[in-house]
Amino acid sequence: MGAQHCWVMILILGFLFQARLLNSQNFACNPKDLTALQDFMGNLTTEFEGWTANSVADCCEWEGITCEPPSSGRVIKLELPRKRLSGILSDSLAGLDQLTTLNLSHNFLKGSLPMSLFHLPNLELLDLSDNDFFGTIPESIDLPSIQIVEISSNFLNGSLPSDTHTQYIYIYIYVNS
Ligand SMILES: *[C@@H]1O[C@H](CO)[C@@H](O)[C@H](O)[C@H]1NC(C)=O
Ligand SMILES: *[C@@H]1O[C@H](CO)[C@@H](O)[C@H](O)[C@H]1NC(C)=O
Ligand SMILES: *[C@@H]1O[C@H](CO)[C@@H](O)[C@H](O)[C@H]1NC(C)=O
C-alpha cells in the first residue's frame, strides 16, 4: 500500500514538473534540438560554463548558439571555436537538422568523425579544423547545401568521395596530420 502511494505521488509530481517545463519553453528551444545539444555537451569531458551556468531550457540563449527565426527555436548555428572543448563529438548533432553552420575548430575534440555529421541537409559550413580527430573521412556523404568544409590539422586520412564533389560550390579541404 505504502509503495503504491509513493508511485502515485511520483507520477503526479512528474506530470506537474513536465507541465512547468513545457510552459517555460514557450518560444524557446525546440526540444529535439535541446536534446541534441545536451547529448553533444554530455559527451564532452569539459564543463563548458557558457552552457552549464545557464540552467534555462532555452538553448537559443546559450553561448555559440543561433536560432533563426528566434521564435522557431530551431538551432541553425553552433559555433564554439577556441573554447578548449575536449572529448568526443556526439552522433546526436545529427538531430540539429536545421543546422547551417558548425564551427568547432581549434579545440581538443578527438575520436572519429561521426558519420551523421555528413548527412545534414542544410549544412553550408563545416569547420572542424585543428582538433585531434582520428581515422578516415566518411565515404558516404550527403550534404546537399555544403559550401565549405574545413577539416585540416587533425589526424585524418583520405578525402571526400570524388563522386560527390559535383554537388559542392566551394570546398576547401585541407587534410593533413
Ligand atoms: C552521448 O551521445 C549519445 C548520442 O550520440 C547519447 O545517446 C548519449 O546520451 C550522450 N551521452 C551523454 C552523457 O550525454
Ligand atoms: C570558424 O571560427 C574560427 C575562429 O573564430 C574562424 O577563424 C574561422 O574562419 C571559422 N571558420 C569558417 C570556415 O568560417
Ligand atoms: C593513415 O594511413 C596510413 C597509411 O595507410 C596509416 O599508416 C595511418 O595509421 C593512418 N592514420 C590514421 C590517423 O588513420
Q: Where are the domains of the chain?
A: 29-172
Give the range among 61-75, 122-136, 144-158 with minimum mean pLDDT: 144-158
pLDDT at residue 36, rounded to an integer = 95
Contact of 109 with 89, CB cutoff 8 Å:
yes
At 72-121, the pLDDT tens digits run 899 999 999 999 999 999 999 999 999 999 999 999 999 999 988 888 99
pLDDT of residue 54: 59
Please give the mean pLDDT across all residues of the chain. Answer: 81
Give the least confident one: 39-48, 137-146, 161-170.
161-170
CATH number of 29-172: 3.80.10.10
More confident residue, 23 or 145: 145
pLDDT over 50 at 162, yes or no:
yes
DSSP-derived pairing of the beta strands 125-127 and 101-103: parallel
Atom 5, ligand 1: which residue's CA is nearest? 91
Mean of the pLDDT values across residues 146-172? Answer: 69
Measured torsion, CA atoms of residues 53, 56, 58, 60, in degrees rounded to the nearest 10: -20
Note whether 39 and 92 are within 8 A (CB). Answer: yes
Please tell me which residue, 26 or 146, carries the higher pLDDT value.
146
Confidence of residue 159 (pLDDT cuts 50, 70, 90): confident
pLDDT value of residue 149: 85
Percent of the chain having pLDDT more than 90? 45
Helix, strand, coil percent values for the chain (each to nearest 5): 35, 20, 45
Hey, CA dihedral for 83, 150, 144, 138, is it positive or negative?
negative
All residues at 6 or more sequence positions from 25 whose CB lies less than 8 Å from its CB, including other chains: 31, 57, 58
Global pTM exceeds 0.75: yes
- Which residues line ligand 2 at a C-beta cut-off of 6 Å? 81-82, 103, 105, 125, 127, 148, 150
Q: Which atom of ligand 2 is nearest to the CA of 172?
A: 13
The C-alpha atoms of residue 114 and residue 138 are separated, in whole angstroms, by 8
Most confident of 47-51, 82-86, 140-144: 82-86
pLDDT band at 53 (very low <50, low <70, confident <90, very high): low
pLDDT score at 165: 47
For 97, counting Cβ atoms within 10 Å of its Cβ (0-12 exposed, 13-18 middle, 19+ buried), the class is middle
**Residue to substitute in 157, 175, 177 for testing ligand 3 pocket (most ligand atoms within 8 angstroms of CB):** 157
